[in-house]
Structure 1
Amino acid sequence: MNRLALTLAPLILAASALSAQAQDPHAGHVMPASPAPRPAPVPVATPQTPARPPAQDPHAGHVMPSAQTPPAVDPHAGHDMSTMAPAQADPHAGHNMSTMQPAQADPHAGHDMSAMSMGPPDVPTSADDPGRPPEAAAPAAALSGPTHAADLIFGAEAMEASRQTLIAENGDVRTTAVIIDRLETGFGDGGDTYLWDVQGWNGGDINRFWWKSEGEGDFGGALEEAELQALYSRAVAPFWDVQAGVRQDFRSGGDDTTHLVLGLQGLAPYWFEIDAAAFLSTKGDLTARVEAEYDQRLTQRLILQPRLEIDASASDIPGLEIGSGLSSIEAGLRLRYEFRKEFAPYVGVEWSRALGNTADYIEARGGEAEDTRVVVGLKAWF
């Protein structure tokens, strides 16, 4: 029995050693001192990132004695850890961050934005005008179908009538208007007088037929003079029409005259209504006339209207008592009350003055070159 135990004792010791080695692969080994790790680069201290000390290996320089079953032995003891990065190291350690831009920098920082407009001006012009944002072209698919797809559902005849109605109501509107600008009676030293100034049109937004009529005379006497114009009018700009046609004059002495007319009528900036025209008579006389009006609204219904009219002639016309150059000027001020937009009676005062040779012609027959009168009248339209 003792001999059997002596025989098996070496085997038991060998098995125990093998078991201890299986638990710790480094058990029983003499661990020489680990070589000192290579120093990590020293971070450069900057105002943004202060220097950080390199991480040190806690096991560097330790001699690990042999042990059969040491508890919780470091499995990395004796390994060269100098080239390994420390856990969760700052990736920017040692970098100069002073020249880097902050994240999400304002791309317009330092730019002068005072002169920039918040958007295109809202001007009344077409969409392709530079004053409005550009519009993208229609996609190709939008034009790939039939020209009038609704015809397939409602029928070509019904849709053709609808298209004509749409054109008439939105692009081919024809209107008619009659404007009584002045229908008045004047009271002055030269006697009581009457006067009319009426015009109207028929047509669309671009092409129109205009007619105009003016005349004046004395109560209890004959008609002094009257005129009638028939004009073709075409819009050439927003609020402006070019007009051309004929003018026929009627006078008490029977000296009727026909003129060719070329004029411009419209609304000038600051809401001045302008009507300017040149006249060439069949006798070769060239004359011109400019009228300007402005409505100053005092209240919603009370309106003050200054008015100015200037006449000129290229030559003397003795038969009509018209001299060359500026022949006459009229300036008036009328205050009207709008019971409705279409009906507004008024009162006012008007001053007139003949100039140059025109004044000489009038005074030669015993008339007055200057006149002031009170007027009462009506402005209306329908």
Structure 2
Amino acid sequence: MSTFHRHLLLALITLASLSHAEASSMADSMAKPSSTTPDPSMANYIDDIMPVMDQEIWVHGILNQFEGRLAGTNSNFRWDGEAWVGGDYNRLWLRSEGTVSKGRMGDGQQEVLYSRSVSTYFDVQGGVRVDLDDGPTRTWGAFGLQGLALYQFEVQATAYVSDRGRFAGRFEGSYDIPITNRLILQPQIELNLYSKADKGRGNGAGLSSIDTGLRLRYEFWRKFAPYVAVTYDGYLQQARRFARDREDSAGSVRLTFGIRSWF
């Protein structure tokens, strides 16, 4: 074997021995406990000083409708708003809606509800509704479901039982259609039905009334958005006859201007 070959063989043996030593050193270091392993006492300390996010209390309110509806002598003013306080799972809701027409308040419904989250998109709710306006006062127990349905439809379905042993139901739905980042078109509908007629309040048995509209709002900023709309509200079936008996409009299409706001 030549001198060159002897030197080459010696170099290869030396390199192999160094690689084996380094591999052994790496294996030993991986087997040893890491100095950066979290200390259980530190985790407990962090839990004690940092609040869990789903236990925070929040307050939110929104004025969905605050609008004047113009139709000559059948013009009126309408509001519809709600607010809640609570956390991610349990909330207390306050709701209010009604109309003012010819100096009289009608369709006044005020609700206090407890809400419990049952899924990512839906809450179940229960509480009390009071019909409070210029008509006879009625009190109802309420139980319903509210949330976002498929394709982001906002829906609310509520069943009521009155202190007089009557039943009622209400369905509300709306959907936001973005035209631009700030210009939004919103179709909306509300349907009311009753098990028995209540002539004092103008409610007929069965499907009693409808309130619907197509609103185009512009969000100057997210918490303030004026809008223009075409709305229709009217009585159905038996309730239409009650409206005619008291010489009231059974239904009217109106040009509407309003403001939507939230905090």
Q: TM-score, normalised by structure 2?
A: 0.81
What residue is the counterpart of 1:234 in the other structure? 116
Counting only pairs closer than 5 Å after superposition, residues 283-294 of structure 1 correspond to structure 2 as 283-294=164-175
Figure out how many residues of one structure are paired with residues of the other and give that number.
228
| Contact 2:74/2:249, CA 8 A, preserved across alignment | no
- 1:323 CA displacement: 1.2
Deviations 1:247-273 (A, max 9, x none): 1121214x1111100011000001110
CA distance in 1, matches of 2:86, 2:56: 8
- 1:167 and 2:51 correspond: yes
Structure 1 pair 340–310 and aligned structure 2 pair: CA distance change class (3 A): same
CA distance in 2, matches of 1:245, 1:309: 20
The residue type paired with residue 157 of structure 2 is A
- Structure with more of its chain in helix, by fraction: 2
What residue is the counterpart of 2:255 in the other structure? 374
- 1:150 CA displacement: 2.3
The residue type paired with residue 206 of structure 1 is Y
Residue number among 101, 115, 119 corresponding to 1:218 in the alignment? 101
CA distance in 2, matches of 1:345, 1:164: 46
What residue is the counterpart of 1:281 in the other structure? 162
Unpaired segments ≥5 residues, structure 1: 1-140
Residue number among 363, 366, 371 corresponding to 2:244 in the alignment? 363
Secondary structure at 2:241 match in 1:
helix
Structure 1 pair 259–164 and aligned structure 2 pair: CA distance change class (3 A): farther
Structure 1 pair 305–148 and aligned structure 2 pair: CA distance change class (3 A): same
What residue is the counterpart of 1:150 in the other structure? 42
What residue is the counterpart of 1:84 in the other structure? none
Structure 1 pair 147–313 and aligned structure 2 pair: CA distance change class (3 A): farther
What residue is the counterpart of 2:75 in the other structure? 192
- 1:352 CA displacement: 2.3
- 1:244 and 2:126 correspond: yes
Relative CO higher for 1 or 2, CA cutoff 8 Å, sep ≥ 6?
2
What residue is the counterpart of 2:25 in the other structure? none
The residue type paired with residue 303 of structure 1 is I
What residue is the counterpart of 2:18 in the other structure? none
Q: Over aligned residue pairs, what C-alpha RMSD do you find?
A: 2.1
Structure 1 runs (4+) greater than 6 angstroms displaced: none
The residue type paired with residue 333 of structure 1 is L
Residue number among 221, 224, 234 corresponding to 1:340 in the alignment? 221
| Contact 2:142/2:160, CA 8 A, preserved across alignment | yes
What residue is the counterpart of 2:212 in the other structure? 331
Structure 1 pair 165–196 and aligned structure 2 pair: CA distance change class (3 A): farther
Secondary structure at 1:150 match in 2:
helix
- 1:325 CA displacement: 1.1
What residue is the counterpart of 2:59 in the other structure? 176
Secondary structure at 1:360 match in 2:
helix
Between structure 1 and structure 2, the one with the greater Rg is 1
What residue is the counterpart of 2:184 in the other structure? 303
Unpaired segments ≥5 residues, structure 2: 1-32
- Structure with more of its chain in strand, by fraction: 2
Deviations 1:86-106 (A, max 9, x none): xxxxxxxxxxxxxxxxxxxxx
CA distance in 2, matches of 1:374, 1:334: 10
CA distance in 1, matches of 2:70, 2:157: 28
| Contact 2:168/2:195, CA 8 A, preserved across alignment | yes
Q: TM-score, normalised by structure 1?
A: 0.57
The residue type paired with residue 263 of structure 1 is G
Percentage of identical aligned residues:
36
